[in-house]
Structure 1
């Protein structure tokens, strides 16, 4: 393998470099026409998770009722909850 053409050149100290990044300001606003969606998955289990899922629901009450029902039937107490909502980005200016 041939020698690098920079052999013997002083090594630049990478920790001394300055980098400036511009920041783009964006505000997110919930879309008033879209319903949020929620889902719960039962993750109770020793060897593996139960995996029962609520499916897509639209209110916290529906989600709580599903969790309560599954808990009453199975005795499972640990759930992963996901909430999704559509948001609209309102771009600002470069800083």
Structure 2
């Protein structure tokens, strides 16, 4: 039999910090539908309240009640040390 090879892995620690100079964005897409989704989209909005208003308006016009929400933020990686 041959000699066994051992591998040692180190872990790299990174902390992520939200970039205070970048505004977060919120977006919703209507996924109400049986055969296919409605697919109406809010576009990028900058507050949860704006997103809620868009959803409320779309719901009032269509009766649609199911949405997929995406929230995007810009993060900065702050590298730590190898361990």
TM-score, length-normalised on structure 2?
0.91
Aligned residues: 81
RMSD: 1.6
Residue segments in structure 1 that go unaligned for 5+ positions in a row: 1-9, 11-16
Q: Which has the higher contact order (CA 8 A, sep 6+)?
A: 2
Which has the higher Rg, Structure 1 or Structure 2? 1
Q: Flag as ranges the 4+ runs of structure 1 deviating above 6 A.
A: none
Deviations 1:30-71 (A, max 9, x none): 000000001000000000000000000000000000000000
TM-score, length-normalised on structure 1?
0.80
Structure with the largest fraction of strand: 2
Residue segments in structure 2 that go unaligned for 5+ positions in a row: none
